[in-house]
Copies of this chain bind each other. A is one copy, B any other.
Amino acid sequence: MSGTSASLPQPPSLLDHIRPQALSLPESGIVEVMNYGRQREGMIPLWAGEGDLPTPSFISEAATRSLAAGETFYTWQRGIPELRAAIARYMSRLYGQAEDPERFFVTGSGMQAIQIALALTLSAGEEILIPSPSWPNAAAAAEVIGARPVYVPFSFDEVQGFWLDLDRLESAVTPRTRVIFINTPANPTGFVASHEALRGVLDIARRHGLWIVADEIYGRFYYEAGEAGRAPSFHDVMEPEDRILFVQTFSKNWAMTGWRLGWIEADPSLGAVLENLIQYSTSGVAAFIQRAGVAALERGESFVAHQIERARRGRDIVAAGLATSNRVHFAPPPGAFYMFFGVEGESDTRALALKLVDEAAIGLAPGTAFGPGGESYIRLCFARGEGQIGEATDRLVRWLQR
């Protein structure tokens, strides 16, 4: 430090004056590695929860037609009726129950669906239970409210993979608990709740008068789905009076990560309140984006099937590769599209992720980004084409065997 600058008084920082909750929000541990590696030539980026396929053109063209027709004005806060009806038809088909369009509220991303679900249920000083490791954004959205995420560690063994200990979940309930956040199939662990586990969570919620925020966005990415075409869901076990809010997104099934389009499913009696919360956060979603959503739901099934098949092959390639290395412990995940694994001798996974950028030209996400219990793991997104996944696996295995 130069003498001159040392003698100047330090200007007061604007950061000293913002809300403590905003200041203490975690920075994404994934973004750090992405920023470190994104410009490297030849990198294979498997850090984000995103595939390599752009949105199919029949979806984009629906937005283009809407724009050309001048659908550029304010629209329905709850979503255009056509999209709410299309969601209801899609959900009815997939879950085998006649769903009412009045249950569906269009949001500007699955993330916003979570934010609004929490604004509906959670106040400053209250608590939300989150099985962990987990995608960090739900916990962070609770922190923005001034609420406290309480992490409930998943159990792990190499036979079952990650599983949820219901006694441990229930023992984390306090008088301040208001919400249980359940992500199934889960990012990053690949955990998929059985119907028995879902019933167990629901029983706990009922006993303690809690809300469930059900994040089933990877429901189609379930590798043991069979005919059902989806993972077990709270839809299968709930009663109409249960306090469950479902959060959903178009991002994964239809390769629409960049669109910021999702929905909340809730009892229609909550409609006026949800509409207000949408009004006072972003005031709705562009109508032309919603038209794309209609196209995705009505004409997207073969694309979804293609994406699931691709992810399944990706999973098998990575699992086969990792099995040839003695340094890795993992269980092939039954759901979602991430391999979340530990590497023997590499306890600092942030450092590991940076080394893999430098030395193997692959981009993975460090487990430190996923909260308590994730620290010793690293996440690889396998929702990509066989060629890239094969090459990335080769690079990883070669690096592990050096």
Contact partner of A15 (CB less than 8 A), chosen from B67, B74, B257, B273, is B273
Binds B, one of A107-115, A169-177, A368-376: A107-115
Contact partner of A19 (CB less than 8 A), chosen from B20, B26, B120, B243, is B120
Question: Nearest Cβ distance between residue A79 and chain B, in whole angstroms?
Answer: 13
With A22-B120, A260-B283 given, name 6 new contacts (CB 8 A): A14-B241, A14-B267, A48-B74, A111-B281, A111-B282, A123-B146
A interface residues, Cβ below 8 angstroms from B:
11-15, 17-23, 25-28, 31, 48, 50, 54-55, 57, 60, 63-64, 67-68, 70-75, 77, 108-109, 111-112, 115, 119-125, 137, 140-141, 143-146, 209, 211, 241, 243, 255-260, 267, 269-270, 272-273, 276-277, 279-289
A18 to B259 CA separation, bound complex (whole angstroms): 30
A92 to B28 CA separation, bound complex (whole angstroms): 32
Complex contact A67–B64 (CB within 8 A): yes
Complex contact B50–A280 (CB within 8 A): no
A269 to B10 CA separation, bound complex (whole angstroms): 14
Complex contact B276–A243 (CB within 8 A): no
A267 to B15 CA separation, bound complex (whole angstroms): 10
Complex contact A279–B137 (CB within 8 A): yes
Complex contact A144–B119 (CB within 8 A): yes
Complex contact A27–B111 (CB within 8 A): no
A146 to B363 CA separation, bound complex (whole angstroms): 41
Closest residue on chain B to residue A137 by CB atoms = B280
Chain B hits for A269, CB < 8 A = 13-15
Complex contact A18–B70 (CB within 8 A): no
Complex contact B256–A123 (CB within 8 A): no
Complex contact A123–B72 (CB within 8 A): no
Given contacts A22-B119, A55-B72, A124-B123, contact A260 B276 (CB under 8 A): no
Chain B hits for A209, CB < 8 A = 17
A50 to B120 CA separation, bound complex (whole angstroms): 29
Contact partner of A120 (CB less than 8 A), chosen from B18, B68, B115, B258, is B18
A260 to B282 CA separation, bound complex (whole angstroms): 7
Complex contact B279–A140 (CB within 8 A): yes
Question: Nearest Cβ distance between residue A68 and chain B, in whole angstroms?
Answer: 7
Contact partner of A280 (CB less than 8 A), chosen from B12, B144, B260, B283, is B144
Complex contact B74–A50 (CB within 8 A): yes
Please name the 4 residue pairs, one residue from A and one from B, whose CB atoms are nearest each other, closest first.
Answer: A54-B70, A124-B124, A55-B72, A25-B276
Question: Nearest Cβ distance between residue A5 and chain B, in whole angstroms?
Answer: 17
Closest residue on chain B to residue A255 by CB atoms = B72
A281 to B115 CA separation, bound complex (whole angstroms): 6
Complex contact B257–A73 (CB within 8 A): yes
Question: Nearest Cβ distance between residue A260 and chain B, in whole angstroms?
Answer: 6
Chain B hits for A70, CB < 8 A = 54-55
A146 to B57 CA separation, bound complex (whole angstroms): 43
Question: Nearest Cβ distance between residue A143 and chain B, in whole angstroms?
Answer: 8
Chain B hits for A141, CB < 8 A = 280-281
Chain B hits for A22, CB < 8 A = 119-121, 273, 276-277
Complex contact B280–A18 (CB within 8 A): no
Closest residue on chain B to residue A138 by CB atoms = B280
Closest residue on chain B to residue A274 by CB atoms = B22
Closest residue on chain B to residue A107 by CB atoms = B282
Chain B hits for A140, CB < 8 A = 276, 279-280
Chain B hits for A257, CB < 8 A = 72-74
Complex contact A258–B71 (CB within 8 A): yes
Question: Nearest Cβ distance between residue A232 and chain B, in whole angstroms?
Answer: 23
Contact partner of A60 (CB less than 8 A), chosen from B67, B75, B121, is B67
A95 to B72 CA separation, bound complex (whole angstroms): 28
Closest residue on chain B to residue A28 by CB atoms = B279
Chain B hits for A137, CB < 8 A = 279-280, 283
